[in-house]
């Protein structure tokens, strides 16, 4: 899986101004829509919110991994946002979130792509150094390099 097919600098926003989880998801969904990677912004947004209602995607350590598998998604994508303030996300560690990595997967791809990306990302987020580097990235290019490392390591 090539990282360039999943993410680009236009899918990364390192200065999200938001107060709520819904605002963050809405802004990241808008980035996805602007890139033409979904057919319906509202359908995707609702899908992510429904997933959140089932089970929190607040991973812990300041990270959340909201995700949605939907017919409206045209291209598997990773959308990354870092908020300017902490957001309550009902995280597993009960701490607020500032780094959000959202996954958008076409329904037609089934569970394989979704689970591969989620597993690789979850595993890498257990690494203190990776989390630190991602959290302290100041440029989208830095984030892309870190994500490329993630995908490269996953395929080895």
Catalytic residue selected from 32, 63, 65, 67: 67
Separation CA 32–CA 38 (nearest Å):
7
- Known catalytic membership, residue 67: yes
Helix extents (H) in the chain: 3-6, 21-34, 41-54, 110-124, 128-135, 140-155
| Secondary structure, 3-state, 73-110 | ECCCEEEEEEEEEEECCCCCCCCCEEEEEEEEEEHHHH
Question: What pairing do the DSSP bridges indicate for beta strands 77-87 and 63-64?
Answer: unpaired
User: Based on the number of CB atoms within 10 Å of its own CB, is 148 exposed (0-12), middle (13-18) or buried (19 or more)?
Assistant: middle
Q: Give bridge partners of residue 67 from the DSSP assignment.
A: 103
| Residues labelled as active-site residues | 67
């Amino acid at each position: 899986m090539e990282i360039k097919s999943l993410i680009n600098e236009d899918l990364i926003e390192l200065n999200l101004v938001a107060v709520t989880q819904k605002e963050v998801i809405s802004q990241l969904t808008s980035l996805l829509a602007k890139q033409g990677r979904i057919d319906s912004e509202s359908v995707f947004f609702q899908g992510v919110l429904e997933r959140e209602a089932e089970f929190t995607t607040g991973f812990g350590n300041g990270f959340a991994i909201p995700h949605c598998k939907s017919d409206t998604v045209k291209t598997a994508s990773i959308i990354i946002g870092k908020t300017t303030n902490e957001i309550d996300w009902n995280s597993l560690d009960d701490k607020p979130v500032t780094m959000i990595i959202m996954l958008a997967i076409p329904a037609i791809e089934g569970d394989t792509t979704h689970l591969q990306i989620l597993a690789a990302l979850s595993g890498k987020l257990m690494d203190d150094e990776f989390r630190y580097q991602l959290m302290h990235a100041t440029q989208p290019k830095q984030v892309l390099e870190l994500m490329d490392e993630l995908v490269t390591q996953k395929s080895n």
